[in-house]
Structure 1
Amino acid sequence: MEKTAIFAGGCFWCMVKPFDEQPGINKVVSGYTGGHVKNPTYEQVCSHTTGHTEAVEIHYDPEVVSYADLVEVYWRQTDPTDAMGQFQDRGDSYRPVIFVQNEEERQIAEASKKKLAESERFKEPIVTQIEDAKPFYPAEDYHQDFYKKNPLRYQMEEMGGREKFIKDQWK
């Protein structure tokens, strides 16, 4: 039976490919969550008035990949020490958040965050939030599978600091 997981880690374009390439992933949807406006548009979210964060909804087969595995993939895509954006993308709509849908997910996410903090991999504190999931709204079609549709623009986005950071931190 398929399950879903929701993660925010900056620009949703950059969060799709790392999950999409994992075994057991059925699809990855770019969208918005955490805010107070129903069915927000990209322009509304960019205005920083909706409370929404760009996020991805991962549809996965728990027989193949576990939620704990997905959380580990998540950590390797973000700077967990930056609370108000990721790399060149700044503001609350780009903040790093693990949106949990039940107590089991919360326990897994909290334990993983604690383990990462205790590893001392990062000099700064781990500030990624773990919050209850709210309704997830898929983004407009042109945002879906962006890395496949617009490989050059996607590559430029990755080169905005994310790619180097990941290589430096997760050698």
Structure 2
Amino acid sequence: MRARWQAALALALAGLAAGAAANPAGESGPATGEKAVATFAGGCFWCMEPPYDALEGVLSTTSGYAGGTEEDPSYEQVARGLTSHAEVVQVVYDPARVSYEELLRVYWRNIDPLAVDRQFCDAGRQYRSAIYYHDEAQRAAAERSLQEVQARFDAPVATEIEPLADSFYPAEAYHQDYYQKNPLRYRFYRFNCGRDQRLAELWGEEAGGYNK
């Protein structure tokens, strides 16, 4: 009995040692099924849902408003520039399947980072481009990605990096999944706004786009 117990103890210690060798800092990666949240402003929120909905590891997208101080803003208020909010998309994702860095890569290639207080045909602070970070890791990753993007262009990148500060408000129900509910209207708006044409100018073959 004692020999059997000693053998089991030896196996357990060996397993602990192997785990420590593989992960000397005691860190563990995210387990599949965990959730994280990212928030991005890229102009019209209708246009920011499709590229993330198509991304493996994204669990949901929600159009909404962030970056403002007024409580519970309406679409009419935001669209008319009566609040300090921006239109945003909030992305819930599984960090074991898709990294925040990949979300940033998709983000940049679906916006015009050089445009100041506008995106494509939509003008005003409510259509600014911005990354709203949820923690310090996201902030650091966002700042690194901004530096990488800036290196590609001669003009200054106008995209802002700000803390979310619990200021996200979901948009009205009829805005959610608009590109799926109203595909013809969505396609017409997107084409008429020149979004994909400008993305192609900026990013070439790397450009995001509407592929639904």
TM superposition score normalised by structure 1: 0.96
Distance (whole Å) between structure 2 residues aligned to residue 47 and residue 36 of structure 1: 16
Does 1:140 find its partner at 2:169?
no
Residues 142 and 161 in structure 2, CA contact (< 8 A), matched pair in contact too: yes
Q: Which amino acid aligns with 1:133?
A: L
Higher strand share: 1
**TM-align CA RMSD:** 1.0
SS state at 2:52 partner:
helix
Q: Which amino acid aligns with 1:103?
A: E
Matched residue, 1:123: 154
Which deviates the most, 35-44 or 71-80?
35-44
**2:112 counterpart (61, 79, 83):** 79
Matched residue, 1:158: 190
Gaps of 5+ in 1: none
Structure 1 residue 127 displacement after superposition: 1.2
Higher helix share: 2
Distance (whole Å) between structure 1 residues aligned to residue 201 and residue 184 of structure 2: 23
Matched residue, 2:146: 113
- Runs (4 or more) in structure 1 with deviation over 2 Å come to 167-170
**How far does the alpha carbon of each residue in 1:83-127 deviate from its partner, in whole angstroms, 9 at most, with x for none?**
211000100000000001111101100001101111x2x332111
Structure 1 residue 19 displacement after superposition: 0.6
Q: Which amino acid aligns with 1:12?
A: F
Q: Which amino acid aligns with 2:146?
A: K
Structure 1 residue 168 displacement after superposition: 2.6
Matched residue, 2:87: 54
**How far does the alpha carbon of each residue in 1:14-63 deviate from its partner, in whole angstroms, 9 at most, with x for none?**
00001110000111000001111111110111221210100000000000
Distance (whole Å) between structure 1 residues aligned to residue 94 and residue 189 of structure 2: 29
Q: Percent identity?
A: 45
Q: How many pairs align? A: 169
Distance (whole Å) between structure 1 residues aligned to residue 47 and residue 174 of structure 2: 14
Residues 14 and 157 in structure 1, CA contact (< 8 A), matched pair in contact too: no
